[in-house]
Amino acid sequence: MDIKDIIKPENLVYSKSKLFTDKALSYCPGCGHGTAHKLVLQTIEEMGIESETIGVAPVGCSVLAYEFMDIDIQQASHGRAPAVATAIKRLMPEKFVFTYQGDGDLAAIGTAETIHACNRGENIVIIFINNGIYGMTGGQMAPTTIAKMKTSTSPYGRDTAIMGNPLKITELVAQLPGVYYCTRQAVHTAAAVRKAKKAIRQAFENQKLKKGLSFVEIVSNCNSGWKMTPVDSNIWMENNMFPFYPLGDIKVPTEK
């Protein structure tokens, strides 16, 4: 097979979503954000809803999400994406609205907005990237940083007696009646990516059916913040993050 054969359309095995802009991703090599972006964009593209979708990306590593996603996007202030999305959806109920938030944003500064949007059952999708650290500001302790984990503001490891416990916000919001679907996924292996994709699709389909809030957590790595190679960070994640944040559905709709 020479190059002429390789570039033939019928030999195409992979292409990026049309909804990616041509801007190179600014995420660190090895980071899960790019894959998570891809899954969201692929879902929107496959459902054919790009002209009806408004994304909300707040402060954190994903603050520049609007540079990479070729859809209408609002950049929200830190933690407030669920409030911003609430208004967008209520004012334009026929549109699709999602937020894309990190752990510091969603589970620390924006806890109130997260819980109340979930509790009201806003008909939106929340994509929650949990890497247990503040990546954008250089690796400080996050609300989801697990016990004993070292960060720049817990340099000797998170001492839960002093610094409090890691917050399982996904289990917490799953209790709320407004949350229709709640799941925890990962994007570090091909199998995980396939499952995560299915979950995101499910979330957007729920919105189409006006079912209420769908909450998709993606436990991801932060190789830069964790100060590991990408490969090591994924192994560390499997060994340390997953036992505390087990993957799988937390709340699934019971009715047909």
Partner 1 sequence: MKELRLMKGNEAIAEAFIRAGADGYFGYPITPQSEVLEYLMAQKPYETTGMVVLQAESEVAAINMVYGGAGCGKKVVTSSSSPGISLKAEGISYMAGAELPCLVVNVVRGGPGLGTIQPSQGDYFQSTKGGGHGDYKLIVLAPASVQEMADFAKLGFELAFKYRTPVMIQSDGVIGQMMEKVELFEQMPRWTNEEIKKISPWATVGKTPDRERNIITSLDLDPARQERHVYKLGAKYKEIEENEVRFEKIQCDDAEYIFVAYGSSARICQKSIEIARAKGIKVGLLRPITLFPFPKKVLNKLADQVKGMLTVEMSLGQMIEDVQLAVNGKVKVEHYGRVGGMIPSPDEIVAALEQKIIGG
Q: Enumerate binding residues for partner 1 (CB under 8 A).
A: 50-54, 56, 63-64, 66, 69-77, 80, 83-88, 90-92, 95, 112-113, 115-116
**Closest C-alpha among 88, 116, 125 to residue 213:** 125
DSSP string, 208-246: HTT--EEEEEEE---HHHHTS-HHHHHHHIIIIIHHHS-
Closest approach of partner 1 to the CB of residue 182, in Å:
20
Which positions ≥6 away from 15 have C-beta within 8 Å? none
Closest approach of partner 1 to the CB of residue 87, in Å:
4
CB 86 within 8 A of CB 55: no
CB 121 within 8 A of CB 214: no
Smaller CB separation from partner 1, 53 or 145: 53
Which DSSP letter does residue 135 get? T
Smaller CB separation from partner 1, 112 or 209: 112
Closest approach of partner 1 to the CB of residue 36, in Å:
19
Smaller CB separation from partner 1, 116 or 201: 116
Closest approach of partner 1 to the CB of residue 46, in Å:
16
Task: State the burial class of residue 156 (Cβ atoms within 10 Å of its Cβ: 0-12, 13-18, 19+).
Answer: exposed
Smaller CB separation from partner 1, 56 or 108: 56
Instruction: Give the pairing of strands 213-219 and 179-186.
Output: parallel
Closest approach of partner 1 to the CB of residue 77, in Å:
5
CB 93 within 8 A of CB 111: no
Question: What is the amino acid identity at position 125?
Answer: V
**Closest C-alpha among 248, 217, 253, 210 to residue 121:** 210
Smaller CB separation from partner 1, 115 or 141: 115
Closest approach of partner 1 to the CB of residue 125, in Å:
15
Smaller CB separation from partner 1, 97 or 219: 97
Cα separation of 33 and 21, whole Å?
A: 15
Smaller CB separation from partner 1, 84 or 107: 84
Closest approach of partner 1 to the CB of residue 178, in Å:
13
